[in-house]
Structure 1
């Protein structure tokens, strides 16, 4: 299983379990999306779990806001090398 962390404007990070191309949002005990305020906070939370990979996905809204986005730009993906 893989871990995917997606960053959003405002310093919000959401985490997903990814298996066989299916992305499942990780939720807390109240069934709300588990939110992190930094990558370090997410790393600490998942420190005892073992994943095949951990990836950060960053969607940049800046280009779209400035009229530069053509709609075909893939998000930035970074291997986090957490193992």
Structure 2
């Protein structure tokens, strides 16, 4: 499984084509970066997905590299009601501002 480490990405000469920050319940965020032709999640030292607790925490972790596009993605669970219609794609993908965006 491909992955990226923050320590490897957060350098001035790194250019991230797209950063997707996935928002989950309980204030947990996971970041996925498209860098060097590979799209992969950021991982910690134990190769587990790096957990962030805010958008600002993600932005600070990648404050030295250049990010061309950034998005916040969230999927709502509210359509999972008993007896409701079949689930459709309710993904919300919103562009976000990241300082230094190319």
TM-score range, shorter chain: 0.7 to 0.9
Aligned to 1:33: 49
Quote the offset at 1:22 in angstroms. 5.9
Structure whose alpha-carbon radius of gyration is higher? 2
1:15-55 deviation per Cα after TM superposition (whole angstroms, max 9, x unaligned):
01136x96411111221111101111111111112111011
What is the TM-score of this pair, normalised by structure 1?
0.81
Match of 1:45 among 28, 40, 61: 61
What stretches of structure 1 of length at least 5 have no aligned partner? none
Change (3 A) 1:61 1:44: same
Quote the offset at 1:5 in angstroms. 0.5
Change (3 A) 1:53 1:63: same
Check conservation: 2:72, 2:94, Cα contact below 8 A.
Answer: yes
Whether 1:73 aligns to 2:57 is: no
Rounded to whole Å, the distance in 1 between the matches of 2:54 and 2:61 is 11
Moved over 6 A (4+): none
